[in-house]
Amino acid sequence: MSLYLPQNYRNLLGGVEQTEKAIKAVKDMFQDNLSAQLALLRVTAPMTVLSGTGINDDLNGVERPVRFPVRSLDERPAEVVHSLAKWKRLKLAELGIAPGRGIYTDMNALRPDEDLDNLHSIYVDQWDWEKVIRPEDRNLDFLKRTVRRIYEAVKVTENKLYVEFPQLVPALPDDIFFIHAEELLQRYPNLTPKERENAIVREHKAVFVIGIGGKLSDGSIHDGRAADYDDWSTPNSDGYEGLNGDILLWNPVLESAFEISSMGIRVDPEAMRRQLKERGQEEKEDLYFHRRLLAGELPQTIGGGIGQSRLCMYLLRKAHIGEIQSSIWPEEMRAACHAAGVELA
């Protein structure tokens, strides 16, 4: 169990009722802002997918999905989603969405292998979104324009929230700063990836780190990313590799970098073959999702996930994600939080 409890912590909203009202305000406002910025249609999403299809998100490849047999399907195994990274691309193909438009959904997942702390719960709720793009949009400039639109949606939400809850004073800078994971390594060679994030986000307050998942010059990777959705290996116009990344904000309550979104331009057939080979996962090419992508049956897309509880936690200045969502926590964590004035749901 890892836990950080800020000194003299105070719930700025006063109590549970005001917190619940503010959570609803954030969720209502942000999804409207996001859909307007990116031209997204809301769709309904599954909580489960069939095992063995390649549709579920493998995350870092070691996390176990919650799996169970389905009696009406001759006991065929299904599993609770980790995220909808690949399902969304299939849905866009099914709907025939044109380039420049996309979909978003409320994604609810279970990740029982998470290490529980201030930011991580076994229950994950996020806005999963995906947008059809043209082949010529698979470049760094397009990625950055999309990141800026998402960041603008966050800023508009922060400012509107301030009107309703004036104790929540806006803290985000006007612009988001871009840097590649390799540049971070060169700038802070003696720090760990998380320490590098803290250093750069402490300075710029809002940062997008490019190239998450790709191999760096020292042979390491900045952070894990599956081989079959984000493109972390295609050379880009900055002279590095990768068309994906993470949005990080400086959290003044936790005094650390705070990830709210993982996103990126998705793999085309060439990039997926290359990345599966690098990870030694070529056998996945025979799975349903992968066969369709390699056959050219799925559109080129950009997409990602934006944590709902994470965004609420940041904007409402909360110290623990358990102040936003109901989940399961170790009793020692509950007791320590309660003693520090952090009340977990």
Active site residue 262: yes
Catalytic residue among 111, 138, 196, 317: 111
Catalytic residue among 83, 126, 300, 325: 126
Query: CB under 8 Å to 293, separation ≥6 — which residues?
Result: 89, 228, 267, 269, 272
Active site residue 246: yes
3-state secondary structure of 77: strand
231, 265 in Cβ contact below 8 A? yes
Closest CA to 313 of 13, 32, 82: 13
C-alpha pair distances (Å), 288 with each of 49, 51, 90, 227: 12, 11, 10, 16
Catalytic residue among 259, 275, 300, 317: 259
C-alpha pair distances (Å), 46 with each of 80, 216, 231: 9, 35, 24
Q: What is the layout of strands, in order, in the sheet containing 76-80?
A: 48-50, 76-80, 67-70
271 CA to centre of own chain: 21
Q: Do β-strands 301-307 and 256-265 pair in parallel, antiparallel, or remain unpaired?
A: antiparallel
Catalytic residue among 125, 158, 183, 246: 246
d(Cα 224, Cα 214) in Å, to the nearest integer?
8
Closest CA to 90 of 46, 120, 126, 134: 46
Which amino acid appears at position 91 of this protein? K
Active site residue 57: yes
d(Cα 286, Cα 280) in Å, to the nearest integer?
14
Give all strands (DSSP E) within the chain, no chain letters: 40-42, 48-50, 67-70, 76-80, 102-110, 123-132, 177-180, 206-210, 244-251, 256-265, 301-307
* Encoded tokens for 124: 């994950």
Active site residue 259: yes
- Residues paired with residue 79 on neighbouring β-strands, in sequence order: 49, 67
Catalytic residue among 31, 35, 57, 89: 57
Give all strands (DSSP E) within 196-236, no chain letters: 206-210
Catalytic residue among 35, 83, 233, 262: 262
From first CA to last CA, the distance across the chain in angstroms is 18
Catalytic machinery residues: 57, 111, 126, 246, 259, 262
